[in-house]
Copies of this chain bind each other. A is one copy, B any other.
Amino acid sequence: MAELVRVAVDAMGGDNAPTEIIKGVVEAVHADERVKVFLIGQEDVVKKELAAYSYPAERIEVVHASEVIETGEPPVNAIRGKKDSSIVKGLGLVKNGECDAFVSAGSTGAVLVGGQVLVGRAKGVERPPLAPLIPTENGCSLLIDCGANVDARPSQLVQFARMGSIYMENVMGVKNPTVAIVNIGVEEEKGNALVKETYPMLKECKDINFIGSIEARDIPAGKADVVVCEAFVGNVILKLYEGVGATLIKKVKGGMMTNLRSKIGALLVKPALKQTLKAFDLEEYGGAPLLGLKGLVVKTHGSSKSVEIKNTILQCITFQEQDVVGKITASIAAAKEEG
């Protein structure tokens, strides 16, 4: 039997911790026998929750961490100050090679800062991007970067394009994924200073399938598999996706409750509609990887339920088995040699 993929999971992070996290972990080990989970958190709490399930004992190990980093805490202070927190301990396991990946629904800031400081960047990577999958008309695209470091340089965006391509190809199974840069028009001369400088550099990359600029209206239509942008813009895109989605769904529900006729219609339509809209839910696609580190770090939504935790753990297996870290490092080294 091949070696198990070892995934450290933060049992204490997110709105639904530890209950949903632990449920998701149990579901993951049942769903795939190639994984072992290290469940990090306050031992008594975690063990009590785990006792409710039956699972292969050798594939879930509880690691005690006495402290919890709260969402509101300044990330740098939290990482420095709380050495016995689930986030610091989990990242430490990846750093020292005891685990291959770390998954957390906790403080985004702490996971981003901790990932860079504790796990460290892979050789040659200038800046590790946070890259969530976003739903589109026919599937999903990778939005890269939505992280905490804004005002990126062109060379960093080019690395994002390479890392995103490798992720989509190897983890999501998209052959020769299309890559586009977010812009305010499709013509090559359009854009702000950053995009204008980055565009010709992307055009030169022979190892990615660059298709040019993408306007924001074409992102939900799924016109590119990898959507490259600077983190400020990425953050706006990600959060507006949520916001417009939530408001529209509320409007649709309100519209259905207008009169008796529409209320009866709503009852008939509801089950089919629910199923369809599920495919457009950001949380269905698992967590966002922080790419370009020496190991894998994944941030899931603060509101993660068990299904997102399970899906994220299963993605970690593919990530590890496809050696994405190795492929990213090789691709960046090759680009350096060429350039």
A residues apposed to B, CB below 8 Å: 136-137, 148, 150-151, 182, 184, 191-193, 195, 215-221, 231-233, 235-252, 254-256, 258-259, 261-262, 264-277, 279-280
Contacts and interface: CB of A to CB of B under 8 A. Distances in A.
B247 A276 contact: no
Nearest to A256: B269
Contacts of A267: 265
| Binding site secondary structure of chain A | helix
B184 A236 contact: yes
A269 B276 contact: no
A245 B243 contact: no
10 contacts: A184-B232, A184-B235, A217-B242, A217-B243, A220-B240, A245-B248, A248-B248, A262-B269, A265-B265, A265-B269
Given A248-B245, A251-B276, A184 B258 contact: no
Nearest to A243: B217
Contacts of A266: 265, 269
A150 B265 contact: no
Given A245-B244, A256-B269, A151 B193 contact: yes
A113 B273 CA distance: 45
B273 A252 contact: yes
A295 to B, nearest CB: 26
Contact of A258 (B232, B243, B272): B272
A239 to B, nearest CB: 4
B250 A275 contact: no
A337 to B, nearest CB: 32
Contacts of A255: 269, 272-277
Given A231-B184, A265-B265, A266-B265, A256 B243 contact: no
Contact of A248 (B195, B215, B231, B280): B280
A243 B261 contact: no
A281 to B, nearest CB: 11
Nearest to A231: B184
A232 B191 CA distance: 8
Contacts of A184: 148, 150, 231-232, 235-236
Contacts of A242: 217
A177 to B, nearest CB: 20
